[in-house]
Amino acid sequence: MRFPRNTRIFRGQLDAGPYAAVLFVLVIFLLLNSSFVFTPGVPIRLPEAEKLPGPTSPTVAVAVDGSGQLYFQNQAIDEPRLRKKLQEAVSRSPEPLTLIMQADQDVKYKEVVRLGLLARATGIREALLATRPPLAPALAPLAP
C-alpha cells in the first residue's frame, strides 16, 4: 500500500517569532539569577584570616561599620539601647553567651575595645572578632 506524499521541503523564510520568544525567556531567567537582586544587611568588609576556631557557646552578634555605627540584628542602634538588648539576651540565655564582633576592617581599635567593654558590663565574658576566609587559598612554597 502506498501512502500519499503531501509533505514538501520548506524553501521559504523562517519565522523569527519563536526564536525571539525563546531569547526573551532566557534573558528573563538570566536576570532573575543575576546579582542585580538587592541583598539586605549591613555592608561590612571583614578582615581576612585563615583557619580560626569558632565559638563553642551560644552567640550574639554586633556589627560595627567603618564610621563606628553599631548594628544589632541588622538594625542601627545606639549604645544605651544596645546595652539593654545585650542584658536581655544574657538574662534569657541559660548558658554564657559569646559576643561576635563583626567589625569592618576600617574600624578604629578604640571602637572595638569600647564594644568589648560594653559587652563585659552586660555579663558577656567572651568576645570574638569575626573574619572571612581569604578569597584564594595560600599557596604552599615549592620544594627546591
DSSP code string of 75-90 = EEE-HHHHHHHHHHHH
pLDDT number for residue 42: 73
Q: Which residues pair with 72 in a beta bridge?
A: 62, 75
Residue ranges per domain, the chain?
A: 59-129
Fold of 59-129: Nucleotidyltransferase; domain 5 (3.30.420)
Q: How confident is the model at residue 142 (pLDDT cuts 50, 70, 90)?
A: low
Backbone angles phi, psi at 61, to 5 degrees: -110, 140
Q: CA 69 to CA 107: how far, in whole Å?
A: 10
Write the single-letter amino acid at 5. Answer: R
pLDDT one-digit tens code per residue, 35-85: 655 666 778 888 888 888 888 889 999 999 988 899 998 889 999 999 999
